[in-house]
Amino acid sequence: MSDSNLLIEPLPPGWKNQRFGEVCDRVKDSCSPVEDGDTPYVGLEHLAQGFPAFVGRGTESDIKSSKTAFKIGDVLFGKLRPYLRKGAQADFDGISSTDILVFRAEDGCISGFLKYLVHSDEFIEYAKSTTSGVQHPRTSWPSLREFRLSLPPLPEQKKIAHILSTVQRAIEAQERIIQTTTELKKALMHKLFTEGLRNEPQKQTEIGPVPESWEVVRCEDICDTISVGIVVKPSSYYVKDGVPAFRSQNVREDRIQPEPMVYISEEVNNGPVKKSKLSAGDVLIVRTGYPGTSCVVPPEFDGSNCIDLIFVRPNKEKLRSHYLSRFFNSDAAKVQVQAGKIGLAQQHFNVGAVKNTQMPLPPTDQQDEIVTHLELIDAKHDLATSKRNALQDLFRTLLHELMTAKTRVHELEMPC
Amino acid sequence: MRPARTKRIRRRRMRKQAPVTPTNAKSLESWIWDAACSIRGAKDAPKYKDYILPLIFTKRLCDVFDDELNRIAAEVGSRRSAFALAKADHKLVRFYLPLVPDDPEQPVWSVIRKLADRIGEGVTTHMRAIARENPLLQGIIDRVDFNATTHGQRDLDDDRLSNLIEAISTKRLGLDDVEADIIGKSYEYLIRKFAEGGGQSAGEFYTPPEVGTIMSRVLAPEPGMEIYDPCCGSGGLLIKCEIAMEERERGLSSPQDQTGGRNAPAPLKCEIAMEERERGLSSPQDQTGGRNAPAPLKCEIAMEERERGLSSPQDQTGGRNAPAPLKLYGQEYIADTWAMANMNLIIHDFEGEIEIGDTFKHPKFRWRGRLRTFDRVVANPMWNQNWFTEADYDNDELDRFPAGAGFPGKSSADWGWVQHMHASLNDKGRAAVVLDTGAASRGSGNAGTNKEKTVRQWFVDHDLIESVLYLPENLFYNTTAPGIVLFLNKAKPEARRGKVFLVNASQVFEKGDPKNFIPIDGIVRIADTLIGWKEEEKLSRIVDHAELARNDYNISPSRYIHTSDAETYRPLAEIVADLDAVEAEAREADAALREILRKIGV
């Protein structure tokens, strides 16, 4: 057993050293589910990781065996694989999986504080050290209740809870911005690819409505090259340093994921695999895994190579690389990709299918405009993402500082 | 009258249901499954299926024999004389069993139940004796050695065998206790349960009942027709055909059924045996007036006729409603499965002929040196068999692989099987074949030639393909792949020539554990769509040959019908309004956070 604890030396005035079992009690109200009942049910899958929140809930009718009944305010903690940091405070009555421990705060402690306490590194460390079982490591109440901590007095608990929940609110707001932006992007793409930008009348085509002045073309007719990267024993060419070679994991929707990259030698690149040597502006399309995902080769990767990816070199007169890539990432293209892919276990997409893919084609100036619009949304999305990440860092740091009394808040005025 | 149909529509399969009636408390299905579990619990039951199935089958034979003896006894005075009579003239009963209890008043099954020591040996001896008396049962119930050992250890020791016999003994399966189609359905249910537990090997003998029902409804076999399944497994598809035919016939001939069944939202009773049982229990009319008025076995009718002459009115009502049964023909490669198919047919009380052997190399059904032809063919051959070589096709003497189509490549015999089935059809024959999804699309779009595509093209060009059905995922027991059903018609109606009907039913299913299933209304919807060539958005389309050619003879419905719902978007304005709201929220949260951080002094 680890000696991990949350004891603070020297103990700040008013704080008390206690065992976890004195701070809260474990709820053991057993409850047998009623068929067709609609009491909310919480399983491990409904708890967010590393963050005191829910990501959904089930209903009673999903489950069969008896479970624990909890009440509003109780703190639910996932005892299976505690390193996943699953714990949240319920704002509804319900029943929970037997892999979830239900804590109910005792008199000297408030629930709002308890839910952050179980997210402290010390508590998680302790829980990890008390697990048993190799396949399914679980901690247990008898072990957890022995966890020792220094508990701040009630007013300070309230302030700590208030501060942390404010950060949490800010994080959740960013999360919602990310979600809404994603939805906006999808809807906007659909609009751009079917209605265009000029508010012109639409015509019906094989792939649905498109603006009247646009054409519908097969990829093959508008690209100079559609071919596949290295497929025969690519790993035999790997060297430590040399020319980068893209694999599926380097291709994300409209962007490059440069790590981890593999390399091949200059000789190989200009020798046996020179057929698939890339130029800046080529479009890479994933074949296996998430078929159809595509991005454009940026200038700094001019001359690199690719492995088991489809690469497309558009006819520069008529087709913009970024427009092509955007199209392949759209739902409209995904429908065609779905139809053209082969194999179920390994979702697989081949060159023939890319050649036959049909695409709405506006004049190049409109292609550029469409790309610019979508890039703006991406920028917004990225901004929210990085903001959320920064806030998450802030949350972790504050949680640590407040729980260990490195930052004291007892003298602050707060509306709580 | 029957209870309203709607009451019987179950969204879930019966195994999730609690028993309904307290009297006959356990459904036959759960009883039969519990019996199977008595060996080593649910987990291991499938391993012992080769022991369990013949025993339940024997129990049915014993109880039916008992009933027949009682009937004879009623005429001649005692069971003792009945035993003697039956022994003297085996034709008096359907299957004569050489099992005579010491006390003739005891049930026949007691001979097996009373075995006290060396049970395995005893059971095996009795089963072999039964088989000796009944050539029909040879190789079917005497193939298992209950006394078998592996390395000196009994495979199924006497203790567990005795538990199994006891569990089976708890329910009578005689004529008055259960109707033939109920015990048949329960038997099917047991086979399905074994399939669920059997994992990889299960697909060898079991096709999901929903798929079988759709196939048989679309093929619409008529009374007296000959149906053939070249890879029949446990015979499920053949049985579905018989059931579909009888249902339709009954639906047409009996007004009761028409009001009670046809107009109701889900006229299918099909596989949900629970329903069937409920009806059996809740509607006495059905039991007495229905076709199987207490399930008259053929022999029984014969006996009664002999005893009472042909005038019995009861008999006539019993007989009149029954349409001429189909003639079922099947061939199966695996011996255990072949035995299962035979038992399945006998227990359903259907007529059939199941041959054993490799259909591909040695088809057993021949006529004057040629392949015998049938009215309907159904099959679910193992997908993508890769062991037949070009020589196997070249050596064929039965004109199954015509020039221009021929060898579909070594990697998958799917289209080879389709060719065999095509050759097994008469001039107006129709077939339904379950194939891997890839069989509809492989080779299309590739540069150069592809053998499989060439065969497919041959079938399209000869206008033999009537429709293709794309099934939902995770339906089959040994794979999660969706699979397709290919419908062939050698005499397509004029209006359908030059066209193929495609149905993408990939979304018509409900999640189940361990396998998805097609609910009853889904079965009806799919079957009706296929029968009527009804075009429906996101489900079905009529495609002409020219379009197939443009797509390089890809006949996969998923290529032509997109079911994706991804195209429904909320109005942009609404999303933007949402975004404004969450951004305002974010600003507020940020401001509150700033304030706190300022106070803490960050």
Average pLDDT in chain A: 90
Q: What is the pLDDT of residues A229-262, one digit of tens each?
A: 998 899 999 999 999 999 999 999 999 999 899 9
* pTM for the predicted model, two decimal places: 0.63
Question: Does residue A260 have a cis bond before it (omega within 30 degrees)?
Answer: yes
Q: What is the pLDDT of residues A272-301, one digit of tens each?
A: 899 999 999 999 999 888 888 999 999 999
More confident position, B275 or A245: A245
CA distance A334 to chain B (A): 9
pLDDT of residue B18: 33
Mean pLDDT, to the nearest integer, of A167-174? 94
Residue of B nearest to A413 (CA): B599
Interface of A with B in 235-274 (CB under 8 A): none
Quote the CA–CA distance of A39 and A45 in Å, as a whole number.
17
ipTM, interface predicted TM-score of the complex: 0.82
Pick from A98, A37, A84: which is nearest to A62 by CA?
A: A37
Average pLDDT in chain B: 79
Chain A residues with CB inside 8 Å of B566's CB?
331, 334-335
Q: What is the pLDDT of residues B284-301, one digit of tens each?
A: 344 333 333 333 344 444
**For the residues of B528-550, what is the DSSP string, one character each?**
HHHHHT--BTTTEEEEEHHHHHH
pLDDT of residue B478: 77
pLDDT of residue B601: 79
Mean pLDDT, to the nearest integer, of B119-134? 92
Are residues B562 and A338, on separate chains, in Cβ contact within 8 Å? yes
Quote the CA–CA distance of B540 and B557 in Å, as a whole number.
8
CB contact A183 to B (< 8 Å): yes
Q: Which of A164, A176, A354 to mutate to test the interface with B (most CBs of B within 10 A)?
A: A176
∠ CA A147-A148-A151, nearest 5°, is 125
Chain A residues with CB inside 8 Å of B588's CB?
173
More confident position, B323 or A393: A393
Q: What is the pLDDT of residues B360-402, one digit of tens each?
A: 989 999 988 899 999 999 999 988 888 888 888 888 888 898 8
CB A114 within 8 A of CB A23: yes
CA distance B437 to chain A (A): 9
Chain B residues with CB inside 8 Å of A407's CB?
600
Are residues B566 and A173, on separate chains, in Cβ contact within 8 Å? no
pLDDT band at B445 (very low <50, low <70, confident <90, very high): low
Pick from B37, B61, B60, B58: which is nearest to B49 by CA?
A: B37
In chain A, what percentage of residues exceed pLDDT 70? Answer: 97
Span of A189-193, B13-17, B332-336, B508-512 with lowest mean pLDDT:
B13-17
Chain A residues with CB inside 8 Å of B569's CB?
186-187, 190-191
Q: Write phi, then psi, for B14 (nearest 5 degrees).
A: -70, -25
**Hey, what amino acid is at A218?**
R
CB A149 within 8 A of CB A23: yes
Write the CB contacts of A373 (distance below 8 Å, at least 6 apart in sequence): A188, A192, A197
Tokens 């492989």 locate to B442
Q: What is the pLDDT of residues B127-168, one digit of tens each?
A: 999 999 998 899 888 888 988 888 888 888 888 889 889 988
Of B438, B482, B596, Cβ closest to residue A166 = B596
More confident position, B444 or A147: A147
CB contact B447 to A (< 8 Å): yes
Report the residue count for chain B: 602
Are residues B441 and A186, on separate chains, in Cβ contact within 8 Å? no
Q: What is the pLDDT of residues B405-439, one digit of tens each?
A: 778 888 888 999 999 999 999 999 999 999 988 88
Are residues A342 and B583, on separate chains, in Cβ contact within 8 Å? no
Residue of A nearest to B588 (CA): A170
pLDDT band at A343 (very low <50, low <70, confident <90, very high): low
Chain B residues with CB inside 8 Å of A412's CB?
599-600
Are residues A187 and B575, on separate chains, in Cβ contact within 8 Å? yes
Gyration radius from chain A CA atoms: 28
CB B393 within 8 A of CB B416: yes
CA distance B486 to chain A (A): 18
pLDDT of residue B249: 84
Span of B176-185, B355-364, B370-379, B534-543 with lowest mean pLDDT:
B176-185
pLDDT of residue B550: 82
CA distance A190 to chain B (A): 8
**For the residues of B252-299, what is the DSSP string, one character each?**
HH-HHHIIIIITSS----TT-HHHHHHHHHH-HHHHHHSTTTT---HH
pLDDT of residue B319: 43
pLDDT of residue B44: 73
pLDDT of residue A355: 87
CB B372 within 8 A of CB B223: no
Are residues B599 and A183, on separate chains, in Cβ contact within 8 Å? no
